[in-house]
Amino acid sequence: MLLILAGITLNSIMGNNNLFNTSDIAVSEYNKKQIQEKIELNILGLMLKNKGNATIDEIIEELIETGITTEETSDREGGTIITEEGYFVEIVNQNNGKWEVIVGEKGKPNIRLNCITDTEELTGKVEVQITGKLLNIGIKQLIFPDGTSKEYTENTINIKEYYNIYKNGDYTFTLIGNDNQKIEKKISVENILEEKIDITVTRNDESVIEATITWPDKAKDFKKEISTDEGLTWNQYEGVVQINQNSSIIARISNNGKLVKQQTLIAYITSGSYKFTMEKDLNEITIVVAGAGGGSASGTYGSPRSRGGYGGYYKDDITIETGIEYNITVGKGGYRGYYYGHRNNGRAGGSSAFGSYSASGGGGATTSNVSGKDGATNVPGVYGGKGFLSGDYGSYGQDGWVTVSYEEV
């Protein structure tokens, strides 16, 4: 009998539901109740002072002032705090003017991550604001959708970062705490205007350079403007723009006063050599390299006529380095075959180039009624400078051109 009683006594002391454990639980519940009542009294006092109104910011500020928590152990956005005793507390708005206080156990808080986009309107760029928090423990790393990351110092409990998105799709952000807690947040972006503004340059038959702007279809109701003085003045776009010297054209789309898209084109249209350096923090550009037209042959009136070849044409999206100088060459039109009592062949047009990308000039026409060879093109049916029909004195070929265009948002 004594052994049985001893067993019962030992079990009540040492078992899972022993007196010590039961006592600890009772003390913990008592402490949690005390904390709950203390916070509720603070909220009640604040609401009486504010005539029945209180925001989560005001409540947490009150709890900080009364010493229940600190700025470092409070999360205003999530409505959570850690008390000085180490209890995790949620303060929940019941949407009826009342606040519920939920006191949890002692222990580590959960990591939080929030991602907010700056607009839902059609735009050329979406800016994402990323906020994160991990009370007491701190945040170690934020991983962006493109695989890049940012590391934080050991005592960082709050973060706020920004990330720009230029294409529609799904994007995932990952936040990691110093205790290796991990949280992911996926957002879907569908309001980016991906289609570019296209500025195309050609020479007409009178050798005048004309720029034509094609606007994205989805932006038909937006404001469309151009500038030919590097953005000093802006005008409504009304049709073809003529250029008579090396210059730039900027075309932009705006909606409700906010810039949606902007395309800059720099045109080198006079034969010669130039330098180009990208000063902006951009490395993707579109180039057009157009060779010069070939000259036509000279001959007597009534003779069969041939023409000088058209210059080659090369268009491509390329990647360049900011701050690096690139050589540009604009080919000169081929010489005509001038008539001095006998007939002469036309000369080939000069090649144009941007760095290592080039387009050959058109071939010269011959007196035997053979037209000059057209330069190669990577855009079917599109060529550079024109060559013209032969005549009594022949005709010069048109100069080539080079354009550099890039998008800014």
pLDDT in tens, 209-246: 999 999 999 888 899 999 999 999 999 887 889 988 99
Between β-strands 198-203 and 209-214, what pairing exists: parallel, antiparallel or unpaired?
antiparallel
Select from 161, 165, 214 the least CA-distant residue to 191.
Answer: 165
Contact partners, residue 217, CB within 8 Å, separation at least 6: 195
In terms of domains, do 322 and 209 share one? yes
102-106, 292-296, 311-315, 331-335: least confident range: 102-106
Statement: residue 24 has pLDDT above 80? no
In terms of domains, do 98 and 167 share one? no
Give percent of the chain above pLDDT 90: 60
Q: What is the pTM of this model?
A: 0.71
In terms of domains, do 355 and 302 share one? yes
In terms of domains, do 83 and 119 share one? no
Q: How far is CA 375 from its chain centroid?
A: 37
Alpha-carbon gap, residue 56 to 99, rounded angstroms: 9
pLDDT at 13: 47
Domain end marker among 189, 218, 234: 189
Contact partners, residue 221, CB within 8 Å, separation at least 6: none
80 has which bridge partners? 75, 90
Tell me the three-class secondary structure of 203-228, residue by residue: ECCCCCEEEEEECCHHHCCCEEEEEC
Select from 148, 147, 128, 150 the least CA-distant residue to 139.
Answer: 150
In terms of domains, do 240 and 265 share one? yes
Cβ neighbourhood burial of 245 (10 Å; 0-12, 13-18, 19+): exposed
- What is the number of structural domains in the chain? 3
Alpha-carbon gap, residue 266 to 52, rounded angstroms: 63
How crowded is residue 292: how many other Cβ atoms within 10 Å of its Cβ?
Answer: 37
Select from 48, 39, 30 the least CA-distant residue to 74.
Answer: 39
16-25, 73-82, 288-297: least confident range: 16-25
At residue 5 the predicted structure's pLDDT band, cuts being 50, 70 and 90, is very low
What count of Cα atoms within 13 Å lies in the side-chain half-sphere of residue 76? Answer: 15
Statement: residue 2 has pLDDT above 70? no
In terms of domains, do 153 and 256 share one? no
Please say whether the beta carbons of 37 and 101 come within 8 A: no
In terms of domains, do 331 and 347 share one? yes
Q: Tokens for 354?
A: 């941007």
pLDDT at 10: 45
Q: How far from 329 is each of 268, 292, 399, CA to CA, in Å? A: 9, 11, 11
Domain end marker among 170, 189, 208: 189
Mean pLDDT value across residues 26-53 = 90
**3 state SS of 140:** strand
Task: Kindly write down the DSSP assignment for every residue of 54-92, as one continuous string.
Answer: --HHHHHHHHHHTTSS-STTEETTTTEEE-TT-EEEEEE
Q: Tokens for 373?
A: 């060879």
In terms of domains, do 128 and 248 share one? no
pLDDT at 301: 55
How crowded is residue 394: how many other Cβ atoms within 10 Å of its Cβ?
Answer: 29
Q: What are phi and psi of 168, to 5 degrees?
A: -70, 150
Statement: residue 343 has pLDDT above 80? no
Alpha-carbon gap, residue 33 to 14, rounded angstroms: 27
**In CATH, what number is assigned to the domain containing residue 149?**
2.60.40
Cβ neighbourhood burial of 361 (10 Å; 0-12, 13-18, 19+): buried
pLDDT at 22: 61
224 has which bridge partners? 253
Per-residue pLDDT tens digits for 88-130: 898 988 877 789 999 887 877 778 899 999 988 999 999 999 9
Q: Tokens for 358?
A: 């080039």
In terms of domains, do 397 and 344 share one? yes
Alpha-carbon gap, residue 341 to 233, rounded angstroms: 54
Cβ neighbourhood burial of 390 (10 Å; 0-12, 13-18, 19+): buried
Q: What are phi and psi of 4, to 5 degrees?
A: -65, -45
Domain end marker among 106, 124, 149: 106
In terms of domains, do 168 and 214 share one? no
Q: DSSP strand E in 94-197: where?
A: 99-106, 112-117, 126-133, 139-143, 149-151, 158-165, 169-177, 182-189
Mean pLDDT computed over every residue of the chain: 88
Helix (H) or strand (E) holding 31: helix 19-49
At residue 3 the predicted structure's pLDDT band, cuts being 50, 70 and 90, is very low
In terms of domains, do 234 and 274 share one? yes
Mean pLDDT value across residues 273-287 = 92
Q: What are phi and psi of 32, to 5 degrees?
A: -65, -40
In terms of domains, do 96 and 148 share one? no
Alpha-carbon gap, residue 377 to 216, rounded angstroms: 25
Contact partners, residue 197, CB within 8 Å, separation at least 6: 213, 214, 215, 216, 251, 252, 253, 261, 262, 263, 407
What count of Cα atoms within 13 Å lies in the side-chain half-sphere of residue 256? Answer: 4
pLDDT at 11: 53
The domain in which residue 315 lies consists of: 198-408
Please say whether the beta carbons of 329 and 269 come within 8 A: no
